[in-house]
């Protein structure tokens, strides 16, 4: 969601999980207003074009350095371009229709299938790019119609942050199950402080935050009104209804949630690894990070994969080969680890991820979740944005509108079918 910054830093989604539904709906309308920019055609094969949306993120300074290192190893130079997030996919879709996509594009992983469906991307599978040593869940996030069209050097997800001082005073240990989460949130709620905080905003960012509970309960995006889905939404509704979580969660972004945790207004929060630099800068805050609680002890958390994938645009054989070579470099253990450290991500390379979990224990919970994480488009492909918005609307209806979880999700399922 998503950094997602949903995403999450959804993709910067979770993540900027920006809102995928809004982008998908607005894409056709905005195409005519966006310039074509500089595509891959017309330049020599010693200079490759690259585009991303990191104009306002820390990676804006780190990305070119790492990318240029891999470009140098491949014997090329990189011409960078940053585009604001809201304009990014409309611009790429226009370029795809004109077959002028940049040689390299770094896109939010839920957008991959929409772009691959245009036919403008090189199949990395056919180009000989190996995914050996990478997490299968991450490989799946870059696939469309049985082919790999995008690969992430690193990803992000969601975990549970908790205030160590408050837990110690309350005699609590970090919750592992939903029952323990509910009990801890209730005990830690006092005065203006809530037990837990999460983002339930009515966009992809809210869906991104809800999906760990939704999927871990056994629910499917193909059946939004299943008993398992109702169980997950009931958990959130009960936390808000009992006062263990603020009613304002329906308006809080992930950044807002982090602010609440920093200010001591929430004892726990659901958030991503991109928040760690800000939290670590608060010297008086002592916190820990654990995996998302599960319905029962036998379950494993299933979190959505946030982060971006590298894609290669069609041009000519020489340029495509050079671009694929750059991507191969970025996926190496050393480069994947370097990328993730700079971006606050988890390396796609499993050995690099294990190394990071050892050297940076705060990331261990995120690393532990990657193996069972899920690409948001796995079940629905290009239909994901529409269903994600229907799910976000259901969350809003249940938490802010007084609708029962079952009724809200039934309406969401009807909307998703239309």
Query: Strand, coil or helix: what is 154?
Result: strand
Q: Which helix (H) or strand (E) holds 287?
A: strand 287-290
pLDDT for res 340: 84
Distance CA 335, CA 339 (A): 6
Concatenate the DSSP letters of all residues of 326-361 into one string.
HHHHHTSHHHHHHHHHHHT-EESBHHHHHHHHHH-G
- Give the count of beta carbons closer than 10 Å to the beta carbon of residue 31: 14
Q: Which residues have a Cβ under 8 Å from the Cβ of 58 and sit 6 or more positions away?
A: 277, 342, 343, 344
pLDDT for res 61: 53
pLDDT for res 38: 45
Distance CA 224, CA 237 (A): 16
Superfamily of domain 20-156+306-370: Periplasmic binding protein-like II (3.40.190.10)
Query: Strand, coil or helix: what is 2?
Result: coil
Residue of 338, 369, 336 lying closest to 157 (CA atoms): 369
Q: Where are the domains of the chain?
A: 20-156+306-370, 159-290
pLDDT for res 37: 41
Cβ atoms 161, 261 nearer than 8 A: yes
Decide: residue 35, CB within 10 A, 0-12 exposed, 13-18 middle, 19+ buried: exposed
Q: Which helix (H) or strand (E) holds 47?
A: strand 47-52
Domains 20-156+306-370 and 159-290 share a fold: yes
Superfamily of domain 159-290: Periplasmic binding protein-like II (3.40.190.10)
Mean pLDDT per 10-residue interval, the chain, length 418 residues: 40 37 33 39 74 62 78 94 91 94 94 94 95 91 94 93 98 98 98 98 96 98 98 98 98 97 98 93 96 96 93 95 95 86 85 91 94 90 92 98 96 93
pLDDT for res 338: 84
pLDDT for res 22: 34
pTM of the model: 0.83
Query: Strand, coil or helix: what is 379?
Result: coil
Cβ atoms 54, 304 nearer than 8 A: no
């Amino acid at each position: 969601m998503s950094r997602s910054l949903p995403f999450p830093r959804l993709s910067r989604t979770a993540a900027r999980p920006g809102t995928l539904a809004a982008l998908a709906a607005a894409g056709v309308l905005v195409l005519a207003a966006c310039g074509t920019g500089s595509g891959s055609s017309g330049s020599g094969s010693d200079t490759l074009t690259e585009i991303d949306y990191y104009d306002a993120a820390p990676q804006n300074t780190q990305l070119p350095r790492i990318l240029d290192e891999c470009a140098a190893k491949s014997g090329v130079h990189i011409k960078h371009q940053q585009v604001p997030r809201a304009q990014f996919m409309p611009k790429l879709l226009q370029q795809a229709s004109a077959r002028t996509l940049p040689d390299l594009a770094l896109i939010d992983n839920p957008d991959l299938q929409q772009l691959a469906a245009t036919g403008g991307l090189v199949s990395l599978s056919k180009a000989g790019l190996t995914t050996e040593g990478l997490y299968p869940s991450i490989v799946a996030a870059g696939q469309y119609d049985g082919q790999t069209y995008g690969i992430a050097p690193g990803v992000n997800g969601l975990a549970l942050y908790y205030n160590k001082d408050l837990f110690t005073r309350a005699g609590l240990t970090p919750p592992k199950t939903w029952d323990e989460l509910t009990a801890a949130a209730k005990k830690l709620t006092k005065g203006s402080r809530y037990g837990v905080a999460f983002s339930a905003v009515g966009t992809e960012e809210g869906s991104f935050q809800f999906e760990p509970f939704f999927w871990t309960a056994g629910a499917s995006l193909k059946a939004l009104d299943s008993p398992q889905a109702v169980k997950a939404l009931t958990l959130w509704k009960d936390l808000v209804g009992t006062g263990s979580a603020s009613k304002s969660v329906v308006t809080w972004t992930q950044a807002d949630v982090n602010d609440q945790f920093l200010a001591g207004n929430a004892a726990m929060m659901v958030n991503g690894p991109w928040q760690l630099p800000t939290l670590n800068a608060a010297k008086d805050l002592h916190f820990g990070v654990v995996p998302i609680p599960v319905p029962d002890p036998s379950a494993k958390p299933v979190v959505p994969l946030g982060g971006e994938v590298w894609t290669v645009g069609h041009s000519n054989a020489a340029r495509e080969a050079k671009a694929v070579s750059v991507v191969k470099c970025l996926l190496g253990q050393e480069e994947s680890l370097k990328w993730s450290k700079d971006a606050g991500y988890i390396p796609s390379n499993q050995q690099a991820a294990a190394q990071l979990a050892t050297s940076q224990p705060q990331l261990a919970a995120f690393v532990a979740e990657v193996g069972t994480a899920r690409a948001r488009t796995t079940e629905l492909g290009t239909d994901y944005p529409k269903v994600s918005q229907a799910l976000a609307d259901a969350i809003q209806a249940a938490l802010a509108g007084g609708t029962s979880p079952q009724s809200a999700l039934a309406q969401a399922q009807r909307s998703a079918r239309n």
